[in-house]
A and B are shown apart, each in its own frame.
Chain A
């Protein structure tokens, strides 16, 4: 009952506007409004289902899945190591590692082209200095899986680490005392105490990411590769495709349709993973 204000709040600000979900099924005319615009069935979804669908859905899901896996591993490890280091130095590291969170993707794309530019980029200057052939990074999709993953980890590291670190600090030290009395070494302490204690946080972050797996970070996929069509085999994701398709038409109904499609697919995956988690340990189910 303590939660009532928040529940009411969510109802007002999230559930009442949900009538907007009729939008994908409407031929929306914004002066007619939601209820008076004519119904259009599933026509707003049709533009998604074309020859590109497989590629963009695959790119979106695979890249996001990679991000989830890599991020969890890297961030949990960093969090654990920070926790080992103790308070003072971890504070400094934490603050510095959080820096990239404030750097917009546009700025990242500038900085990255400083590294990867075919003529002026640092990487290619190095390669040519060592007698190699310059690599045209912006023309070769194959490098971009790695580049995008690195960019994503680089930017999110501080954010994720912070959460895991905070979760670790709220673990009762008595557990560690007890483990030490049992002669458990550091690795075993991490494995048997730290990880299980922060498991709820890991699971929640992962499940929410799975829910959003069909939503790509537009800035990362559009701005960082500089919207270069040569890279579309890797970088073209649902969000960038929808942006391109609707930049002229500006159709509310169609963009809402794309969003609903992404949400529903993500939702199905979440239900599935929640079910699987429930089978393993019912206490960890999200709902």
Chain B
């Protein structure tokens, strides 16, 4: 797909081209500035995660560690078997949850976006209602753990969160931009609803699916609470739950200060930073994967033709 900008540049006259370049230059500068604002704190965090705890307090934060130390990571990697296991569980839950969730959310979002669907407003309300009103922790726990018997199973890690009402509504917003005429044409051609969905909606809405897929997978990746709530088995501990537990434990110990403990052996601040660094993982893995789909959507024209 050609983006608008390149085409504009293509037909511009000399003077316009100059304007054009100045425009791009300033936009690039703006973004570089934005990126610096965003990156500098992050570099500080990375540096802090490699800094000796005492030095961190004494010298403050900086872009380069004053006293290099791997203590924080040593703690995180102390139990490498568990770490690998947690990675596997997290990846499994994320992939399964994202794929299944995407199917469910895209179908629902699509139906909601069809302006010829009579009950779309009622159904939208049905979905929106759950954004604001939830039964709360205990009923959900009883449902998932006792009635559905998912406690201590991998299902508990992704099934309860498959459909996010908010993402369904976003999906609806995206799919609204598909011209309605297209469906009419397809129907006249005798395409079934399923076929329309598979052959027209999905190819035309790859950016939407990629966005929601990205958000869903990040949600799964970053979720620690589900794992702590529904599983006792360390084999089912997700990565974030594992890191969260370590962190929460350090914090807890520094507050209650049990008489048995030497709290100075816990590099709390630098470990917190290390957790932050480790959590960014998916940005480097998942993000580029989904980004590929942003501009790959087929055009309406290509389908019409």
Contacts and interface: CB of A to CB of B under 8 A. Distances in A.
Instruction: Tell me which of A6, A14, A158, A173 has the highest count of chain B C-beta atoms within 10 A of its own C-beta.
Output: A6
B162 interface: yes
Given A2-B194, A176-B4, A286-B169, A170 B204 contact: yes
Contacts of B1: 169, 173
A270 interface: yes
Interface in B148-184: 160, 162-163, 165-166, 168-170, 172-174, 176-177, 179
Contact of B107 (A3, A163, A167): A3
Nearest to B16: A185
Nearest to B115: A283
A191 interface: no
B190 interface: no
Nearest to B112: A3
Interface string A83-104: 1111101010111111111111
Contacts of B265: none
Nearest to B56: A110
A126 interface: no
B173 A201 contact: yes
> Could you tell me the dominant secondary structure of chain A's interface residues?
helix
Contacts, number: 259
Nearest to A167: B174
Contacts of A12: 143
> Could you tell me the dominant secondary structure of chain B's interface residues?
helix
Interface residues of A, number: 91
Nearest to A12: B143
Nearest to B210: A166
Given A6-B104, A21-B135, A85-B27, A99 B166 contact: no
B301 A172 contact: yes
Contacts of B28: 85, 89
B11 A7 contact: no
A177 interface: yes
A252 B138 contact: yes
Interface residues on B, range: 35 or more
Interface stretch (A45-53, A55-63, A205-213, A231-239): A205-213
Contact of A102 (B126, B135, B143, B283): B283
Contacts of B124: 286-287
Interface of A: 1-3, 5-7, 9-10, 12-21, 23, 30, 34, 78, 81-87, 89, 91, 93-104, 106-108, 110-111, 114, 120, 154, 157-159, 162-163, 165-167, 169-174, 176-177, 180, 186, 189, 197-198, 200-201, 203-205, 208, 211-212, 252, 256, 259, 263, 266-267, 270, 283, 285-287
Pick the 8 closest A-B CB pairs, nearest first.
Answer: A17-B135, A20-B135, A17-B139, A6-B108, A287-B124, A20-B139, A287-B125, A20-B136
Given A20-B139, A85-B24, A14 B193 contact: no
Given A204-B170, A266-B132, A287-B122, A10 B291 contact: no
B7 A170 contact: no
B194 to A, nearest CB: 7
Given A167-B177, A204-B169, 4 more contacts: A6-B104, A7-B126, A86-B5, A114-B44
A2 B38 contact: no
Contact of B61 (A15, A84, A114, A263): A114
A136 B206 CA distance: 50
B210 A111 contact: no
Nearest to A179: B4
